[in-house]
Structure 1
Amino acid sequence: MALPPVSLHPVDGAVSLELLRGHLDALVERADVPVAFGPEVLEAADRAAASWREDGIERVDRTDVEFVTLDPASSTDLDQAMHLERGGDGRGGYTVLYAIADVPAFVALDGPIDAEARRRGQTVYLPDRRISLHPEALSEGAASLLPDQEAPAFVWRFTLDAQGVVTSTALERAVVRSRAQLAYDAVQSDLDAGRAHPMMTLLMEIGDRRRALEAERGGASLNLPEQEVIADGGSIRLQWRAPLPIEDANAQLSLMTGMAAAQVMIDGGAGILRTMPPADDASVRRLRAAARALGQPWGDDVPYGTFLRTLDPSVPRHLALLNQAASLFRGAGYLAFTGPEELPADETDRAQAAIGAPYAHTTAPLRRLVDRFVLLTCHHLLAGTALPAGLRAALPLIPEAMKETSGRAGTLEREALDLVEVLALAPLVGRELTGTVLETREATEDRPATSLLQFDEPPVSRLAEISGEVGAVVHVRLDGVDIDARTTRFSATGAPAAGRTADETADAS
């Protein structure tokens, strides 16, 4: 169930964008994250944007196919476009054409744009700005699958049976032209009103089939509400936002493509997989114990993906369990190999455990470095052509580049969101707030008890030096805020009756 948007400023006004920018400028300056592109990179991007048609690559003309994109309304770096049809196998199946931006058409291996992209690793998203992986001439221009613009793309063709199982896979380089730039919120509204774009209705149907297959193979997702930063004139506000059903259906296409790409590379003996180990026994035991304590027992014969799908994040004790379940989703990394002998013999070591299958990042090349190399590798393998020496030499280097750059980008993004939270709380010093306890740590000789609290209004999550029962709703007073240190201080003012969670308290009233 989607959570209603929660305004950051019901009384006191939003966070000033001007004030926020000043603090973010200081964060970015201290961070080891490249911001401006050098003149050589910008010049190379401009040349590539103007000359991609003359690069000598053979492409199929698919401009007659009615592709559409589906993204947040404000997106301009559009990596994917889709065209969906019924009857893929003649027995009630589907045909999916999935176009992915052909970034390699603009970024020559070992050229200046490639070198800069390896230094950046990914696009960094901050509340008031975006630090792009590629120059704007590419990421928001010639390489983006913008509506009514002819652009080069890798086009995956999947045939699915009536249950959504992929029965055939093909990949070609093509020229495409998207017909429409659709936005999640508007599409979901149209679906709810029964007037949706026909392709979006079909996307929901395919998404349902793929979710059922995900459950069968033991895949899992957390489905936690996301903290979203909203620009509102000269201000910034936050809201909790649960993913819409159409977003989940769209994600299933991306997952399907990543799984297909992984299998292509495993069969071909070269590539880069996105891996994650299975949850360790200790984490599983902790989550089972927490589930029992919160009155939501997890049966021994129930896969964790199935259990997580029974939890509703709008219920406080379920929200706490989902937050603790994050401990099951750790250790993700990349596995590069240039020969079949380099693949782990244990298939578990090749898989992404949360997905429940081998998987590869391949659908966001405008925003993530590794996808460009996966696309190129898959195209050569499916075409039966040898991997170029430069590509083969690059594959083992990309995992370390992704690890290093992801760490830097993740730190900056967390610090920026932390800053927005503190600024949002600053006008509320001295007031009582109500929050759900997501995690708690008992006091020791060296430190006091602490609890992680998620508040609805303002929509932030903060640590407080209080003792709380996981899943309970507690009342705290905000005693102080230090914007420069990005810290807050709370004290307890009250809580529900001992041993009762928020929904139990509501049932009793």
Structure 2
Amino acid sequence: MPRRHIHVTGAAEAAPLRAALRELRTTLDVPADPAGPDAFPPEVLAEAQRTAKNPMLPADPYDATDLPFFTIDPPASTDLDQAMHLARRTGGGFRVHYAIADVAAFVAPGGALDAEAHRRVTTLYFPDEKVPLHPQMLSEGAASLLPDQTCPALLWRIDLDADGRAVATDVRRALVRSRAKLDYAGVQQRVDAGTAEEPLALLRDIGLLREEQERARGGISLNVPEQEIELRDGAYRLTYRTPLPADGWNAQISLLTGTVAADLMTAAGTGILRTLPAAPDGAVARLRRTARALRIDWPHHTSYADIVRGLDPAEPAHAAFLQECTTLLRGAGYTVFTGGDLPDPAIHAAVAAPYTHCTAPLRRLVDRYAGELCVAAVAGDEPPEWVMSALPDLPKKMAEGTRRQNTVERECVDIVEAALLKDRIGELFDAHVVDVKDREPTVGTVQLDSADLAVIARVEGGVDLPLGERIRVRLTQADPGAAKVLFAPA
């Protein structure tokens, strides 16, 4: 599921921006220096040091270190939750081995680490740094699936038929060893050049098959561009990073695991699902208005899912529309069920199937619990008592953590855009009106017509805004420390 990411590159001297981000962390009661000695309480760090050296492993753990796993993440990432190995099955189809960091091997139920994780709920990503869910000696050290490091993991084995449909699933505790840390651009280059070895080359084949399965069941994946801000020649630039096909193929492996995990839990009668109701009446109609505003051709006989798949996120208008499409994902939440009494709805509308979060336990609290439920389901065991006792409160905690995460993302967007424009108050810009409030036609949203200004911001003034039209706007406020970006019709 998409998130609105923002990255700062080459902006170490961007003092106003970093000062505003520090102030935001203070306002949200987030450690000012996430890597500093005060980021975690002493008892949490002491427990992390102990378990990093002596993880809690089964008496005779399954050894899967012979499988040459690889990870795919942004180049600078070191909190690596997932590693994969892909192969063809004898007689046709594919076998996906997907290793997920076994956080439960390092976090004792009821301990200081566990309590702190329940307080933090998620890793928070700011443009200049992150505030981790777990101490970095675990999340970027002993528990991370770094190359050439033997790690405890929940090892998924998912068999697919020749069309990419899951036909068999297993998950167990194991020891794994990644061989390579890859990034999206490098993967794309190898696959396109035909130099990728089969386990990596199969990522494209399986990814494309899973995308077709997604299409067939009515699911949607949004390739939302990421905003990147950089300091170049003393000036800020804010641009979009367009997702590569490899981003989507990799995401399909995670989505596959989330759907088979949900199937295991529903079959066992106990679990926690990530659910999303269908979009409310009028939501798609509103997107049609935005499409017209951005000059995107959307024939009436074409479904929302098909129009989204035909968009090119490298096109600024398409990028803006994809960002607007994320409004259909509002209302997602976590739902617990026991005794086989499934919730209503039991599916995630964008996935178009039952789905759960289980592939990012280093960064998201709920995934540790979902993984434990799946291990128990496959073994035919009752879930651990510590899982069942925490399960009822997880949806509320995750909702609060998600709201905090969304606040961070929203406020960071405002801060970054204000930092970009703070010295340009009063200037005129060309822009397109991409949205107008139904009951306040003088208030809306504009997208600036500039490759170097990936800015979508509020506009308001004394005239009705022409939806879809190009207008001139004047920047009236932009202060990274106090005010959001605001334009007025010129």
Look up the SS of the partner of 2:98 in the other structure: strand
Aligned-partner Cα distance in 2 for 1:57–1:376? 17
The equivalent residue for 1:475 is: 472
Correspondence 1:362 to 2:364:
no
How do 1:219-234 residues align onto structure 2 when only pairs under 5 Å count? 219-229=219-229
Instruction: Sort the Cα spacing of 1:418 and 1:243 in 2 relative to 1 into closer, same or farther, 3 A.
Output: same
The equivalent residue for 2:284 is: 284
* Letter paired with 1:456: A
The equivalent residue for 2:348 is: 352
The equivalent residue for 2:390 is: 394
How do 1:102-251 residues align onto structure 2 when only pairs under 5 Å count? 102-229=102-229, 238-251=238-251
- Residues 360-398 of structure 1: per-residue CA shift (max 9 Å, x gap): 000000000000000011001101111122211111111
Unaligned runs of at least 5 residues, structure 2:
1-5
How do 1:290-301 residues align onto structure 2 when only pairs under 5 Å count? 291=291, 294=295, 296-300=297-301
Aligned-partner Cα distance in 1 for 2:69–2:234? 35
Look up the SS of the partner of 1:281 in the other structure: coil
Q: Name whichever of 254-263 and 238-247 sits farther off.
A: 238-247
Match of 2:452 among 423, 448, 457: 457
For the aligned residue pairs, the C-alpha RMSD in angstroms reads 2.8
Report deviation, 1:108. 1.2
Look up the SS of the partner of 1:222 in the other structure: coil
Report deviation, 1:14. 5.7
The equivalent residue for 2:72 is: 70
C-alpha contact 1:291 1:298 (8 A) present in aligned 2? no
Aligned-partner Cα distance in 1 for 2:126–2:482? 18
Aligned-partner Cα distance in 2 for 1:7–1:432? 26
C-alpha contact 2:433 2:444 (8 A) present in aligned 1? no
Instruction: Sort the Cα spacing of 1:31 and 1:472 in 2 relative to 1 into closer, same or farther, 3 A.
Output: same
C-alpha contact 2:414 2:485 (8 A) present in aligned 1? no
C-alpha contact 1:123 1:130 (8 A) present in aligned 2? yes
Look up the SS of the partner of 2:434 in the other structure: strand
* Letter paired with 1:19: P
Q: Identity, % of aligned pairs? A: 45
Instruction: Sort the Cα spacing of 1:316 and 1:68 in 2 relative to 1 into closer, same or farther, 3 A.
Output: closer
Aligned-partner Cα distance in 2 for 1:197–1:415? 42
Aligned-partner Cα distance in 1 for 2:145–2:7? 33
Match of 2:402 among 403, 406, 412: 406
C-alpha contact 2:108 2:114 (8 A) present in aligned 1? yes
The equivalent residue for 2:81 is: 79
* Letter paired with 2:21: L
- Residues 25-69 of structure 1: per-residue CA shift (max 9 Å, x gap): 2111111446621001100111000001x6445421111110000
* Letter paired with 1:219: G
C-alpha contact 1:337 1:395 (8 A) present in aligned 2? no
The equivalent residue for 1:499 is: none
Aligned-partner Cα distance in 1 for 2:274–2:284? 22
Match of 2:63 among 58, 61, 64: 61
The equivalent residue for 1:428 is: 424
Q: Structure 1 length normalisation: TM-score?
A: 0.86
Instruction: Sort the Cα spacing of 1:470 and 1:254 in 2 relative to 1 into closer, same or farther, 3 A.
Output: farther
The equivalent residue for 1:267 is: 267
Aligned-partner Cα distance in 2 for 1:290–1:235? 31
Instruction: Sort the Cα spacing of 1:25 and 1:324 in 2 relative to 1 into closer, same or farther, 3 A.
Output: closer
Aligned-partner Cα distance in 2 for 1:270–1:279? 27
* Letter paired with 2:304: Y
Look up the SS of the partner of 1:173 in the other structure: strand
Instruction: Sort the Cα spacing of 1:232 and 1:396 in 2 relative to 1 into closer, same or farther, 3 A.
Output: farther
Instruction: Sort the Cα spacing of 1:393 and 1:489 in 2 relative to 1 into closer, same or farther, 3 A.
Output: closer
Aligned-partner Cα distance in 1 for 2:46–2:7? 43
Report deviation, 1:358. 0.4
Report deviation, 1:16. 3.1
Aligned-partner Cα distance in 1 for 2:267–2:234? 53
- Residues 157-212 of structure 1: per-residue CA shift (max 9 Å, x gap): 01111111111101111111100000112222333333334333210110000000
* Letter paired with 1:64: D
The equivalent residue for 1:500 is: none
The equivalent residue for 1:255 is: 255
Report deviation, 1:290. 5.1
C-alpha contact 2:7 2:227 (8 A) present in aligned 1? no
Instruction: Sort the Cα spacing of 1:174 and 1:8 in 2 relative to 1 into closer, same or farther, 3 A.
Output: closer
C-alpha contact 2:224 2:319 (8 A) present in aligned 1? yes
C-alpha contact 1:218 1:306 (8 A) present in aligned 2? no
- Residues 457-500 of structure 1: per-residue CA shift (max 9 Å, x gap): 2222211225544444443333443333233343445xxxxxxx
The equivalent residue for 1:507 is: none
Aligned-partner Cα distance in 1 for 2:59–2:190? 40
Report deviation, 1:270. 0.8
Look up the SS of the partner of 2:330 in the other structure: coil
